[in-house]
Amino acid sequence: MDRRNLTPFDSVKILMLKGEKGEQGNSGDYSSIDNKPSINGVELSGDKSSASLHLASDSDLDDIQSDILTLTDKATTAEENIQQNSTDIETISDALTPQTETASFTSTFTAYATGSVPTFVKYGRMVMVYGIAKPTETITGSQTETLMFTIPEGYRPFGRVVSVMQGSARHLWTMELTTTGNATFSRLRADTGAYIDAGTAEWLPFSVTYICGE
């Protein structure tokens, strides 16, 4: 038959005959078809389950979704922890960076020389205060405490700090730092141990290290 002269009806008949006989001499039965399609390397023949085709079941999909949600929660928690750790690192870094502050003497004292005003250096919770003072008027020798300067907030001691300092010649005197911020002078004495007056030329250096309470 000359296919160039085929009518549409003839073409349909040929297709129907091919379907009945099958291509390449097959009977048209799917099981007899060569080169059947496959999924995941498993040929699609007979009744195949999702498991036999290595496909995820509904239960598997539920488990996967649950795992994804769990991992998402863990990722969120990890991100929050990272942010908190970053904040903690900044806080620690700030605490370990030395901070400095100065204070002014009261009218009863003045700096012995330029640059000898009360100076505070804070490292973590450790504070050192140093300076050199001299009275602006004669202070009668006694146990009475005379305010030298006020400790700035943030640098005040955890508890009462009492220290013995060197003065002019072999003089000794007592400095007391309080939790309320008072830094006082008292008990100036000579070799004999008796209290003596502090004149305006008295050299009163001080250096104290303590734990900050703030």
Residue segments in the chain with a per-residue pLDDT below the cut of 50: 22-25
Residue among 194, 202, 209, 199 at smallest CA distance from 163: 209
Residue among 183, 112, 122, 114 at smallest CA distance from 147: 183
Cβ pair 80, 128 in contact under 8 A: no
The class of domain 99-211 in CATH terms is mainly beta
How far is 190 from 179, CA to CA, in rounded Å?
A: 29
Distance between start and end Cα atoms, the chain: 108
Domain with CATH 2.60.40.1830 in the chain: 99-211
The secondary structure of 175-190 as a DSSP string is EEE-TTSEEEEEEEE-
- What pLDDT score was predicted for residue 4? 56
Phi, psi of 47 (to 5 degrees): -85, 110
β-strands 204-211, 126-135 pairing:
antiparallel
How far is 154 from 43, CA to CA, in rounded Å?
A: 79
- What pLDDT score was predicted for residue 28? 60
- What pLDDT score was predicted for residue 205? 97
- What pLDDT score was predicted for residue 92? 76
- What pLDDT score was predicted for residue 10? 58
